[in-house]
Chains A and B, each alone.
Chain A
Amino acid sequence: METDMLNLKRASRGDERAFEALITPHADATYRLCLRMMGNEQDAADMAQEAFLRAWRSLSSYKGQSRFSTWLFRVTTNVCLDELRRRKRGESESMQALEENGLEIVDTGDTPESALDRAELRRELKSAIACLNEDQRAALILRDVQGLPYEEIARALDLNLNTVKSRISRARAALREKLSRGMELSAEKRV
């Protein structure tokens, strides 16, 4: 924590090595966040780099009002959201078509032989997350995958606490519904 403060001071003076030391411990978490937001590894790596770059550029806007990691997640989430929105704007129709197809694939659930094993469950979960709208997805990932407290998520996404809670709650309900439908289907099959 102490060295973090030092590195932060130095990085905001333009010391690159201090910045590197500052972000390195958060590289995995940043990448995972991007991976869940974007849904594939290539985009995740690109966005994580972009996030570090934006963090560097806007380091002066970090005033120590939250933990550095929270601020970094905020920057990262915004980078991902910007990119997702940009893509959506660019090709809204095809994206929608894609999403619908994606949903269908997830919903049918009758693909492999009966039992819904763990790996399969995770796969379904991942594609279900990818089908959430991006605002719900961001909140859910920060809470349930990254394990941030609600207050920090509110700060990271610039939302009030209740909005965050309701978004997460809605996202969970959507996933739950998908999961229990999957479980039922596999249960029926087993019978």
Chain B
Amino acid sequence: MKCEMFENHLDGYFDGSLSELERQSMEEHMQACPECRREYEAQKLLLEELRHLDDGVTAPPDLVSGAMERIRRERQPRKRRAAYWLGGAAAAALCLTLALGTLLGGAGAAGADSAAPMAAPMAAGAAEEVAEAPAEAPAPNALMAMDAGADRIVTEESVADDSAADGSAAKNRSAEPEYGLKIIREATIRMETENYDEDMAALEQLVSSMGGFITSREEYGSEQSAKTGENPRSLWMQLRVPSDQLDAFVEQAGEVGVVTYSGISETDVTDQYADTDRKLQAYQKQYDRVLAMMDQAATVEELIQIESELSRLEMEIENCQGSLNYWDTRVNYSTVYVSVDEVRRVVSANPTMGERMRTALANSWDDFTQGCQDLVVDLYAAIPYIAVWIVVLAAAGGVAVLVVRKVRKRREK
């Protein structure tokens, strides 16, 4: 065996994919060639180290919960509508109490005044939940006035709420209003369709008509297998639409297929943006100062030092600029994740009471069938035991019968 061949076979040796003969000739070669022996030792060490490289490394404890938190936040819109109604109901109750109090107590203006500060936090509490509720959510007529008040509080409250997570944010925001809020909005849409090709074309048309573009796309299944119903097609794509078109896009995409799930998530990057921008300005000032030193440099060494400082600053500036550009594009262009499943008959629609009942029933049916299957499997697995027990019991029974007969015979005698 040649050294070159040895090297080629090295991976196979450790993966166990070589024939016995090949292994043997490699081992022989190793005995004779210290060079290859070293190569072998290095590979062995490498693989062993790699296998244990991350031993004992565990995920941070909040990894899964953090991800789940983000997933839930994505679904929030539906829940928020419920909160909206709850908040509305609470406000209505308050109004009623107020009115009653005014009527009964006859305290008039004084009563209303003292009640007003109470109303505000209540409304704010409700508003916090409603912060991102779609504008078209119906507002009960009686609460129109209340509603306008709540709306105003909404914006303040949601700002305070977001910044609570990041400590000092509230200050920054009032100090630097020039960016406005930098909010990245992303949407997820899942839909089912019976007319896959048509609907896909419609969807693509919609994307381009709104000035958006598709950034990645994965398709599974084929038209042919879809016809038999065995392997329906499905599509996953990621696309970008101008963020001011996002709501319109989600709405219109909903008319293309039957939406089984849609959600919009929002991430506020205003703080990071502001921080980076401040950093950028600081670096730029520093750059200018260092540049000015260039003229005063007396020696070559000084010059070199200045050069290297300049290039370091340039890199920092580029980094900051890059981050800002990245956020800007993400803020201006929303990412939309669309997944489409081809179905022969669309079953799911917007979740209604009936839909949920059906899902619940389907879940427990799954449990039930699973349970039945488990039972059958367990019974099947128990056959050897049962067989042994039958033999043992039969033997015991036989003995018992014999004994009884004997006793009877003896008595008869």
Residues of A within 8 A of B (CB): 2, 6, 9-10, 13-16, 19-20, 23-24, 27-28, 30-32, 35-36, 41, 45, 48-49, 52-54, 56-58, 60-61, 63, 90-91, 94, 97, 121-122, 125-126, 140, 144-145, 147, 150, 165, 168-169, 172-173, 175-176, 179-180, 183
Contacts and interface: CB of A to CB of B under 8 A. Distances in A.
Nearest to B45: A179
A33 B363 CA distance: 33
Nearest to A49: B67
B64 A125 contact: no
Q: Among A36, A53, A57, which residue has the most Cβ atoms of chain B within 10 A? A: A57
A91 B75 CA distance: 34
B363 to A, nearest CB: 6
Contacts of A36: 53-54
Main secondary structure of the interface of A (DSSP, over half): helix
Contacts of B54: 32, 35-36, 145
Nearest to B341: A60
Interface string B36-53: 001100110111011101
B72 A16 contact: yes
Contacts of B359: 13
Contacts of A13: 359, 362-363
B71 A53 contact: yes
Nearest to B221: A63
B59 A48 contact: yes
A157 B125 CA distance: 48
Contacts of A97: 315
A61 B232 CA distance: 11
Contacts of A57: 188, 337, 339
Contacts of A54: 337
Contacts of A19: 68, 71
Contacts of B15: 150
Contacts of A179: 42, 45-46
A31 B236 contact: no
B224 interface: no
A6 B315 CA distance: 51
Interface stretch (B158-166, B242-250, B318-326): B318-326
A130 B261 CA distance: 39
B378 to A, nearest CB: 12
Interface string B160-183: 000000000000000000000000
Interface residues of B, number: 52
Interface string B334-378: 000101010000000000000000010011001100100010000
B43 A176 contact: yes
B57 A52 contact: no
Contacts of B51: 144-145, 147
A131 B218 CA distance: 29
Contacts of A90: 322, 325-326
B63 interface: yes
B58 to A, nearest CB: 5
A163 to B, nearest CB: 14
Given A28-B59, A57-B337, A180-B42, A126 B64 contact: no
Interface of B: 7, 11, 15, 38-39, 42-43, 45-47, 49-51, 53-54, 57-60, 63-64, 66-68, 70-72, 75, 188, 190, 218, 220, 234, 236, 260-261, 315, 318-319, 322, 325-326, 337, 339, 341, 359, 362-363, 366-367, 370, 374
Contact of B39 (A49, A125, A176): A176
B11 A168 contact: yes
Contacts of B7: 173
B64 A27 contact: yes
Contacts of B59: 27-28, 30-32, 45, 48
Q: Which 6 A-B pairs have the closest CB atoms?
A: A31-B59, A52-B67, A144-B50, A27-B59, A180-B42, A32-B54
A62 to B, nearest CB: 10
B136 to A, nearest CB: 23
Contacts of A49: 63, 66-67, 70
B234 A60 contact: yes
Contacts of A24: 64
Contacts of A165: 11
Contacts of B337: 54, 57-58
A60 B15 CA distance: 34
Contact of A48 (B63, B68, B234, B260): B63
Given A30-B59, A41-B60, A61-B220, 10 more contacts: A23-B64, A23-B67, A49-B66, A57-B337, A90-B322, A145-B53, A147-B51, A150-B15, A176-B46, A180-B42
11 contacts: A9-B366, A20-B68, A30-B59, A31-B57, A45-B60, A63-B234, A90-B322, A91-B322, A176-B39, A176-B46, A180-B38
A132 B359 CA distance: 48
A124 to B, nearest CB: 10
A169 B218 CA distance: 29
B39 A180 contact: yes
A125 B220 contact: no
Nearest to B191: A60
A140 B57 CA distance: 18
A16 B50 contact: no
A125 B68 contact: no
B46 A58 contact: no
Q: Among A2, A16, A45, A176, which residue has the most Cβ atoms of chain B within 10 A? A: A176
B43 to A, nearest CB: 6
